[in-house]
Structure 1
Amino acid sequence: MRDLDETDMAILRLLGEDARRPYSEIAERVGLSGPAVSDRVQRLEEAGVINRFTVDVDQSQLRAGVPVFVRAIVPSGTVDDCKAAIADADAVEHVFVTADGELWFYARAQVQRVREWLEGLLPEADGVDYDVTLMDDAEWTPSLDGTQFALTCAECGNTVDSEGESTRIEGEVYHFCCPSCQGRFENRYDRLEEGV
């Protein structure tokens, strides 16, 4: 386990701009060989920093509905379930949860059926209120500027440095700042699994 360095961040920025960019081109830009870039990308995937490569489709070219930005006020105990239901909806592209438990999401809705669509989105939740804003334009440009150059401990939240540990539990990668944090996390995980 090692810290993410400037080269890792440069690779992530370049892949963020174009996930199909050839490793040879990335290598030229960061001063490494193509195989070295491939190794770093593989390590970033194994560490869970890169989850997947995707495509950014311009939905307006597909006439896939009208872009709306929706604020959903839901009962406090239902935020996680409502977020999951909203994220599963085909028309929803991005979901955000505010610090005070409101859900905001960006979607493409059919013009004549926005209210009906929203009511069917969370049919189980009582006391849900929506504010809908029609969007004129939207651009999603994720940036790595201002991000930290280290992973975070899954147990205590501290920075994971070169002395840290990583483990994969049921397909999910977890990072720890020290062996004792890893041990506490694994023990708690095992106890929860036994209780299920």
Structure 2
Amino acid sequence: MRELDDTDLDILRLLAADARRPYSEIADQVGVSPPTVSDRVDRLESLGVIERFTLDIDRSKLHDGVAVLVDVELRPGNVADVKRRLAEADPIEHVFATADAGVVVKATIRPDEVGALLADVVDTDRVRGYDVRLLADSEWSPEVDAAEFAPDCDECGTTVTTEGESVRIDDRVHHFCSSSCRHNFEERYRSMTESA
């Protein structure tokens, strides 16, 4: 696994500022060829550093309502399904799963309609309660700092170094500190999917 260098970080900064920027323009600014930019972007995607190219849409211009933060307290064992269902709901922009079995969403909706939205999207017996807070302001900062690419091994949790490996399994990139960790993970994953 190769570490990210200054060229990778410069490419990330330029894409974070404008994901529609042509590769030829990026190449001119970072001093490499357009095919090199394309190869590096492909590699950053395969490593999971770039997850998708997207838009930052101001939903208040598209929906009636205001920006709210909704903290949904769930019964145990429901986070993954509730998170997925809420992510598919139209007025919801961002969905976060919390470590304490909850889900927090940012949405553009009238505060008095949140209960109805939850009832339409989620089985109400999965929800213990929810809290709605009006947002005064929010900011999205996809800026790239001079950081080191140092994911944790998906098998043992140690930091993956340049000797590590990355593989895509079922549309998700997994990072491993060694081939033995990768092998152990793949064996356990294969066993779990066969028994499911």
Conservation of the 8 A alpha-carbon contact between 2:66 and 2:108: yes
Distance 1:96 1:177 in 2: 27
Distance 2:19 2:93 in 1: 18
Offset, 1:127: 4.7
Distance 1:126 1:21 in 2: 43
Matched, 1:91 2:55: no
Amino acid at match of 2:183: G
CA shift digits 1:102-150 (9 cap, x unpaired):
3211011146533322333322434521111122333322333375423
Matched, 1:182 2:186: no
Alignment map for 1:1-196 (pairs within 5 Å): 1-110=1-110, 113-145=113-145, 147-196=147-196
Identify unmatched segments of 5+ residues in structure 2: none
**TM-score normalised over the length of structure 2:** 0.86
How many residues end up aligned between the 2 structures? 196
Offset, 1:83: 1.8
Percent identical across equivalent pairs? Answer: 50
Conservation of the 8 A alpha-carbon contact between 1:153 and 1:175: yes
Identify unmatched segments of 5+ residues in structure 1: none
Structure 1 residues 156 and 6, CA gap change in structure 2 (3 angstroms): farther
CA shift digits 1:19-45 (9 cap, x unpaired):
011222222332322221111001112
Distance 2:101 2:146 in 1: 25
**TM-score normalised over the length of structure 1:** 0.86
C-alpha RMSD over aligned residues: 2.2
Offset, 1:56: 1.6
3-state SS of paired residue (1:86): helix
Conservation of the 8 A alpha-carbon contact between 1:3 and 1:160: no
Amino acid at match of 1:26: I
Conservation of the 8 A alpha-carbon contact between 1:5 and 1:149: no
